[in-house]
Amino acid sequence: MYTYNFFEDAMNLRDIFDDFFTRKTSYEPYREFPFVKIHEGNDRLTITSLMPGIKPENVDIQLVDDSLVIAGEKKADYEEKPYLRKERFFGEFKKSIKLPYRVNHQSIKADLKDGVLTITLEKSEEAKPKKIEIL
């Protein structure tokens, strides 16, 4: 025999409200924008990121301590052409990437071409392994 449990129903209702107000929206993944791919080889890090529709003057790249910070803004283009549906992200973004080692500040290169940002960082001499001779 089943007995009605008001407390259990009240707790379920509370869970429904909690889920509704804490659930991530469809725009939540864009907080991590830009998505990056990091490749390491030959004492060099290559970071690539897709940035369609973003102009180089709207991107700011800085090396802060042992992190690379990519910030900028994707300008909205819908003032002239209102959309019926928009599934693209517009607005400011900022991402910090902790680097695995110190890099040479003078050899950093960045290029934004055809919507692909490529940043090349070389390992600093202090971060490279050094052979120690045994006397």
**Is residue 30 scored above 80 in pLDDT?**
no
103, 66, 30, 36 alpha-carbon torsion, rounded to 10°: 30
Domain at 29-125: CATH code: 2.60.40.790
Q: What is the pTM of this model?
A: 0.69
* Domain chopping of the chain, boundaries: 29-125
110, pLDDT greater than 80: yes
The two structure tokens encoding residue 92: 């400011």
Burial class (CB in 10 A: 0-12, 13-18, 19+), 41: exposed
Tell me the backbone φ, ψ of residue 84, rounded to 5 degrees.
-85, -30
8-state DSSP, 42? T
Provide the pLDDT for residue 14.
74
- Report whether pLDDT(40) > 60: yes
- Which pLDDT tens digit goes with each residue over 6-24? 667 777 777 777 766 666 5
